[in-house]
């Protein structure tokens, strides 16, 4: 069993790496590690979604758990339903990945992301089942009889869950609405297609919705938070106040000003942190960020007396820090922002509503707010494809190259190199005072990664065995 939990669930090519048989077995493993009477299960708009949702649900039900099918719903919507009902849950989605990929995100009871130890337990149970029985697991979790008759889990359809989630999102602004604001939404042909426009419509905004015609294959295709250029053009053309782009499962947000300027999670965190601090709502005057957050964000928060708590990449690590230290705001550069008092996970639509509310309350344009929030330090990120990202990153030659670049930049920059938790990539990031310095350092590091990747490939003979 080669699949493992990454920074945000298990992902792979649907019906290949992530086969129906494997996902069924995963459902059994999840039910054994997280025993519960019921699980909340949703999906995004991928063509493979119904297939894998059915397989996952079959695995859960075969262990005696009822499955509450909430249909197409954003990942944070599934988490919200699970939290309201104090149940575990699962989302079938590969987030911002292309439609050929899919994935499974699992939530503990209360809609909480799983800690590492629980993920490891699920992996071990899944490996045991697959290793002992092939893709089809044994019929019983113990020597006892398997669930039969009334003990077999039921499939329950709940299409009212989306309505409750919409009410929750509409209610976060209190008595305020967004009347007079013109917004453009890019829903990435994904899980936000119905809920995003519905929420902003209920809040009385003038809404233009893009990429809201999912056909199962067009999710994230040249649209959404990973391709904000189309949204930027539309915002400028129609004279909107704000553009808001979600990814396929709507747990992240990228925003666009009326000028076409694109703002990532770092700029949004700077705005929210200052706004919350001014209203005495920023717990312990601290924001949780990941190692990928721009140095400019850290400097801007420091100037305003706001502390930074740093975590590894992944919103689950941000959430762990928020819950452990009882902070109220955290997030990632990619646009996963977590408002701990309002949600158990990153929520793109929630963030979009709060941002629009902030802009309206300020009486200023979003572009004006961005200009005064933070100044980005030039940052360059390059992804290098490799079959074994962790081995490349940990190799002595790559480590030495990183140390050399860090020494050369000193306090004038920052270097980060890491294995992607969701794709077969090594991510190389450099921050420097000058663009040229960042480009040169990234080029040298990328070359070192490519050389090491090639070297590791050459260790294997054509049959894939160690030579």
Largest CA-CA distance found in the chain, in angstroms, rounded: 69
- Please give, one letter per residue, the 3-state secondary structure of the chain: CCCCCECCEEEEEECCCECHHHHHHHHHHHHHHCCCCEEEEEECCCCCHHHHHHHHHHHHHHCCCEEEEEEECCHHHHHHHHHHHCCCEEEECCCCCCCCEEEEEEEECCCEECCHHHHHHHHHHHHHHHHHHCCCCCCCCCCCCCCCHHHCCCEEECCCHHHHHHHHHHHCCCCCCCCCCEEEEECCCCCCCCHHHHHHHHCCCEEEEECCCCCCCCCCCCCHHHCCHHHHHHHHHHCCCEEEEECCCCCCEEEEECCCCEECHHHHHHHHHHHHHHCCCCHHHEEEEECCCCHHHHHHHHHCCCEEEEECCCHHHHHHHHHHHCCCEEECCCCCEEECCCCCCCCHHHHHHHHHHHHHHHCCCHHHHHHCCCCCCCEEEEEEECCCHHHHHHCHHHHHHHHHHHHHHHHHEEEEEEECCCCCEEEEEEEECCHHHHHHHHHHHHHHHHHHHHHHHHHECCCCCEC
Asked if residue 265 lies in contact with residue 252, where contact means CB atoms within 8 angstroms, the answer is yes
What value, to the nearest 5°, has the Cα angle with vertex 336 and ends 331 and 337?
50
Catalytic option among 19, 95, 328, 453: 95
Q: Which of 432, 435, 429, 199 is nearest to 332 (CA)?
A: 429
Distance CA 230, CA 185 (A): 11
3-class secondary structure, 140 = coil
Task: Mark whether 95 is an active-site residue.
Answer: yes
**Residue bearing tokens 């990449």:** 313
Burial (0-12, 13-18, 19+ Cβ within 10 Å), 26: buried
Q: List, by residue number, the catalytic residues.
A: 95
């Amino acid at each position: 069993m080669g699949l493992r939990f990454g920074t945000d669930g298990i992902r792979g090519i649907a019906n290949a790496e992530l086969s129906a048989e494997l996902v069924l077995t995963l459902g059994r493993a999840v039910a054994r590690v997280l025993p519960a009477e019921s699980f909340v299960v949703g999906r995004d708009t991928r063509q493979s979604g119904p297939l894998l949702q059915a397989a996952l649900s079959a695995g859960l039900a075969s262990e005696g758990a009822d499955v509450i099918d909430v249909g197409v719903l954003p990942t944070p919507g599934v988490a919200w339903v699970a939290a309201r009902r104090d149940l575990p849950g699962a989302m079938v989605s590969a987030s911002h990945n292309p439609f050929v990929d899919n994935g499974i995100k699992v939530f503990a009871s209360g809609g909480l992301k799983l800690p590492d130890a629980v993920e490891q337990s699920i992996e071990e149970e899944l490996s045991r089942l697959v290793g002992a029985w092939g893709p089809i697991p044994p019929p019983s979790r113990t020597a006892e009889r398997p669930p039969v008759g009334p003990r077999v889990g039921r499939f329950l359809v709940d299409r009212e869950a989306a309505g409750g989630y919409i009410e929750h999102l509409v209610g976060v602004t209190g008595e305020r609405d967004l009347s007079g604001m013109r917004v453009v939404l890019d829903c990435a042909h994904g899980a936000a297609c119905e809920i995003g426009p519905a929420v902003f419509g209920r809040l009385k905004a003038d809404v233009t919705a893009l990429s809201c015609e999912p056909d199962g294959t067009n999710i994230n295709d040249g649209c959404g938070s990973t391709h904000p250029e189309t949204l930027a053009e539309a915002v400028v053309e129609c004279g909107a106040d704000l553009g808001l782009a979600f990814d396929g499962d709507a747990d992240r947000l990228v925003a666009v000003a009326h000028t076409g300027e694109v703002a990532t999670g770092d700029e949004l965190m700077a705005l929210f942190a200052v706004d919350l601090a001014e209203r005495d709502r920023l717990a312990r005057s601290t924001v949780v960020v990941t190692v990928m957050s721009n140095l400019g964000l850290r400097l801007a928060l420091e100037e305003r007396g706001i502390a930074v708590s740093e975590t590894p990449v992944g919103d689950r690590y941000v959430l762990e820090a928020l819950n452990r230290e009882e902070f109220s705001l955290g997030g990632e550069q990619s646009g996963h922002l977590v408002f701990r008092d309002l949600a158990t996970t990153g929520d793109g639509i929630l963030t979009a509503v709060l941002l629009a509310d902030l802009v309206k309350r300020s009486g200023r344009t979003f572009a004006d707010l961005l200009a005064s929030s933070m100044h980005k330090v030039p940052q360059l990120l390059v992804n290098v494809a490799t079959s074994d990202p962790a081995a490349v990153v940990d190799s002595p030659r790559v480590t030495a190259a990183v140390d050399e670049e860090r020494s050369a930049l000193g306090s004038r920059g920052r270097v980060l190199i890491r294995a992607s938790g969701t794709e077969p990539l090594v991510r190389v990031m450099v921050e420097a005072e000058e663009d040229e310095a960042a480009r040169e350092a990234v080029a040298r590091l990328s070359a070192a990664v490519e050389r090491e990747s090639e070297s590791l490939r050459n260790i294997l003979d054509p049959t894939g065995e160690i030579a």
